[in-house]
């Protein structure tokens, strides 16, 4: 996991005593939050604002008691949290010191350096609650994000979350095994997402439970999903890919998969690197097949995560056949290929009306580390764009053979390393000069070459500008 500025924790404050030092309007807002969470709020201040007096008369949930005097250290004993509002740092420091001495987490309003915890912006669909924090760096930005989420999340999601809370115990009492319960909640989530404007009923529970109970034993066995991770940018994942990652028990991923992609998976999912990097030490395909099938036979939901699209130069046929031979359900989630991703970031059409009538994908890699027996005539066709995958070692030989079979030496070509990632770099050149340009630019990372792509003459190596997602 990447470093966290703050650990998001949701406190259970029902019936617990909290301390608020200060009676201002800002303090009233924090008192309202604490009361809404069910806390008993003791407010200590010599002067009370109209807002906090009104809140004490009509609190949202927990009681708000007003004490017309300054706070004292003894007031903090036994409190769950302490919140204060102070104009100067010296008064704030005294409050923080007393709270920490009493073992109470403390927050001083608008003074991040004195805070053990932060409130953040809140999207309330209780019991579904979303907290947003910028670690004090940009509170207005957090509020803008909150407003966007408020618009995206239907109010009825609160009812669905409340139903889940009440149905959980009932579901456990039915004696369903773990796989069946998880299937229920997966179907519950899909059902809630497709019915966001209404509250659930007991009929929904009965229907979902019936679907799971009547599912045959085969449906509850393990399964394998081949998932395309795309070329690198996690925002290029499909919704199906995200859902597969979030439902996986085990994820078998290749070296070419961006680690940012794994952030979309469940935290509890086991993640296993299975190699598959060209020309480098890696797991044998048969070992991967056996591991994948073995995990599925133990009832695991396995995601086989591959860079790009799993059906393009990714040995999908072997893995699908291994699953079918073992009687394991197998599905495929397509992904954006490296050629598509690179073309998009470069604003480089792969086809062009009146000029390019065909697009073909070829691989420069074979077991002999040399170009396979390709259709050289098609590579030389000036109306064809060719995407060459895995060209790192065999590109020079492939180009020489293509030139010998009629490919024009001045054919425009481009080599792209780490397509769609922040460190993407590329070089453009006439095809006869491409290998030299790649070596001169020292392109590192997964490499792709496009021959006869629209884009024109030679250019120096360029780096991806992540601000506008284009080559600068």
Decide: helix, strand or coil at residue 200. Answer: coil
- Do 367 and 427 belong to one domain? yes
The predicted pLDDT at position 459 comes to 46
Using N-to-C axis directions, what is the helix angle for 316-325 and 285-297, rounded to 10°? Answer: 40
Determine, yes or no, domain membership for 145.
no
Tell me if 173 is assigned to some domain. Answer: yes
For residues 203 and 85, membership in a common domain is answered with no
Cβ-contact 453, 427 below 8 angstroms: no
Please state, in angstroms and rounded to a whole number, the distance separating the CA atoms of residues 274 and 281: 10
In a domain, 187, yes or no: yes
Asked whether residue 343 falls in the same domain as residue 466, the answer is yes
Q: Look at residue 98 in the predicted model and tell me its pLDDT.
A: 97
C-alpha 115/C-alpha 108 separation (Å) is 6
pLDDT over 60 (residue 120): yes
> Average of pLDDT values for 429-433?
93
- What proportion of the chain, given as a percentage, has pLDDT over 70? 91
Q: Rounded distance, CA 463 to CA 423, Å?
A: 7
Residue 38's pLDDT is: 96
Residue 418 in this model has a pLDDT that exceeds 80: yes
Task: Specify the pLDDT at position 27.
Answer: 95
Q: Considering only CA atoms, which of 144, 248, 243 is closest in space to residue 189?
A: 243
* Residue 405 domain flag: yes
Q: Are 105 and 208 contained in the same domain? A: no
- Examine the pLDDT at 466 and tell me if it is beyond 70: no
In this predicted structure, the answer to whether residue 359 has a pLDDT above a threshold of 90 is yes
Residue 188 within any structural domain of the chain: yes
Domain identity same for 304 and 419 = no
The pLDDT value given to residue 364: 80
Shared domain for 438 and 328, answered yes or no, is no
Confidence of residue 370 (pLDDT cuts 50, 70, 90): low
- The mean per-residue pLDDT over the stretch 320-328 comes to 94
Judge whether 402 lies within some domain: yes
State whether 431 and 307 are in the same domain. no
Confirm if 65 and 18 have CB atoms less than 8 A apart.
no
Terminal-to-terminal C-alpha distance of the chain: 30
The answer to whether residue 305 scores a pLDDT higher than 90 is yes
43 and 23 in contact (C-beta within 8 Å)? Answer: yes
Closest CA to 289 of 318, 314, 317, 313: 318
Mean pLDDT for 218-229 is 81
Residues 348, 436 within the same domain: yes
With both helix axes pointing from N to C terminus, report the angle between 434-441 and 395-404 in degrees, rounded to the nearest 10.
160
| Residue 122 pLDDT > 80 | yes
What pLDDT shows up at residue 472?
29
**Around Cβ 122, how many Cβ atoms within 10 Å?**
16
359: containing domain: 339-471
How high is the pLDDT of residue 216? 47
Domain match, 226 and 211 both: no
Q: In the structure, what pLDDT confidence band is assigned to residue 464 with cuts at 50, 70 and 90?
A: very low
> Mean pLDDT of all residues in the chain?
88
Specify if 8 maps to a domain.
no
Q: What is the pLDDT of residue 186?
A: 83
β-pairing, 447-451 vs 384-389, is antiparallel
User: Looking at 194, 218, 242, which one is the last position of a domain?
Assistant: 218
- Nearest residue to 122 (alpha-carbon basis) of 60, 51, 190: 60
pLDDT band at 321 (very low <50, low <70, confident <90, very high): very high
Q: What does the pLDDT average to over 39-44?
A: 98
CATH number of the domain where residue 30 is located: 3.40.50.720
- Which of the four pLDDT bands, split at 50, 70 and 90, describes residue 50? very high
Could you read off the pLDDT of 169-211 as tens digits, one per residue?
888 888 887 778 888 888 898 888 888 889 999 999 999 998 8
Give the relative orientation of helices 25-36 and 50-57 as an angle to the nearest 10 degrees.
20
CB 14 within 8 A of CB 38: yes
For 121, the 3-state DSSP assignment is strand
Which residue intervals of 381-459 are DSSP H helices? 395-404, 434-441
Residues 251 and 268 in one domain: yes
Local confidence band at 220 (pLDDT 50, 70, 90 cut-offs):
low
In whole angstroms, give the CA distance from residue 432 to residue 439: 13
3-state secondary structure of 273: strand
Give the side-chain half-sphere CA count within 13 A for 127.
Answer: 9
CATH, residue 282: 3.40.1010.10
Place of tokens 């064809």: 384
Q: Note the pLDDT of residue 373.
A: 74
* Residue bearing the bigger pLDDT, 259 or 303: 303
Query: Is 371's pLDDT higher than 80?
Result: no
- Same domain as 332, residue 344: no
**Domain CATH for 409:** 3.30.950.10
Distance of CA 386 to the CA centre of its chain: 32
Residue 61: which of 42, 76, 40, 45 has the closest Cα?
40
Among 100, 119, 138, residue at a domain's last position? 119
pLDDT digits (tens, 9 = 90+) for 147-157: 999 988 889 99
Total of domains in the chain: 4
**Separation CA 437–CA 425 (nearest Å):** 12
* Domain end residue (candidates: 303, 336, 369): 336
DSSP, res 352: B
Tell me: pLDDT of 386 over 80. yes
Residue 351 has pLDDT above 50, yes or no: yes
Mark whether 379 and 428 lie in a shared domain: yes
Active site residues: 254, 276
- Asked whether residue 1 is assigned to any structural domain, the reply reads no
Please tell me the predicted confidence (pLDDT) of residue 322. 95
């Amino acid at each position: 996991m990447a470093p966290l500025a703050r650990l998001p924790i949701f406190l259970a404050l029902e019936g617990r005593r909290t301390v608020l030092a200060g009676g201002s309007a800002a303090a009233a807002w924090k008192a309202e939050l604490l009361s809404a969470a069910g806390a008993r709020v003791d407010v200590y201040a010599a002067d009370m604002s109209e807002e906090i007096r009104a809140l004490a008369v009509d609190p949202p949930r927990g009681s708000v008691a007003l004490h017309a005097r300054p706070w004292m250290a003894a007031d903090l004993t036994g409190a769950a949290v302490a919140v204060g509002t102070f104009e100067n740092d010296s008064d704030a420091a005294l409050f923080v010191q007393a709270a920490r001495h009493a073992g109470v987490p403390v927050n001083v309003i608008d003074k991040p350096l004195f805070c053990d915890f932060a409130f953040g912006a809140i999207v309330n669909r209780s019991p579904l609650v979303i907290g947003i924090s910028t670690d004090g760096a940009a509170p207005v930005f957090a509020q803008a994000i909150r407003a966007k989420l408020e618009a995206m999340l239907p109010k009825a999601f609160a009812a669905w979350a409340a139903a889940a809370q009440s149905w959980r115990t009932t579901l456990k009492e039915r004696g369903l095994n773990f796989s069946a319960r998880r299937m229920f909640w997966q179907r519950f989530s899909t059902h809630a997402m497709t019915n966001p404007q209404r509250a659930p009923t007991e009929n929904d529970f009965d229907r979902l439970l019936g679907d799971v109970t009547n599912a045959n034993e085969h449906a509850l066995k393990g399964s394998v999903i081949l998932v395309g991770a795309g070329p690198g940018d996690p925002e290029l994942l499909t919704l199906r890919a995200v859902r597969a990652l979030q439902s996986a028990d085990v994820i078998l991923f290749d070296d070419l998969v961006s680690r940012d992609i794994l952030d979309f998976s469940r935290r509890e999912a086991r993640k296993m690197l299975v190699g598959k990097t060209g020309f480098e030490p890696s797991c044998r395909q048969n070992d991967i097949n056996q591991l994948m099938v073995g995990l599925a036979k133990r009832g695991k939901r396995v995601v086989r995560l591959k860079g790009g699209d799993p059906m393009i130069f990714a040995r999908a046929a072997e893995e699908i056949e291994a699953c079918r031979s073992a009687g394991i359900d197998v599905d495929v989630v397509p992904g954006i290929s490296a050629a598509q991703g690179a073309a998009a970031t470069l604003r480089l059409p792969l086809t062009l009306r009146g000029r390019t009538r065909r697009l073909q994908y070829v691989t420069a890699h074979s077991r002999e580390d040399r170009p396979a027996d390709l259709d050289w005539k098609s590579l030389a066709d000036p109306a064809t764009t060719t995407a060459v995958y895995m060209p790192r070692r065999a590109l020079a030989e492939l180009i020489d053979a293509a030139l010998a079979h009629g490919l024009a030496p001045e054919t425009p070509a481009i080599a792209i390393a780490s397509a769609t990632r922040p460190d993407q770099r590329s070089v453009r050149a006439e095809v006869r000069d491409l290998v030299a340009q790649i070596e001169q630019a020292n392109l590192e990372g997964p490499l792709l070459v496009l021959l006869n792509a629209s884009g024109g003459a030679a250019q120096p190596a360029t780096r991806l500008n992540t601000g506008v997602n284009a080559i600068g």
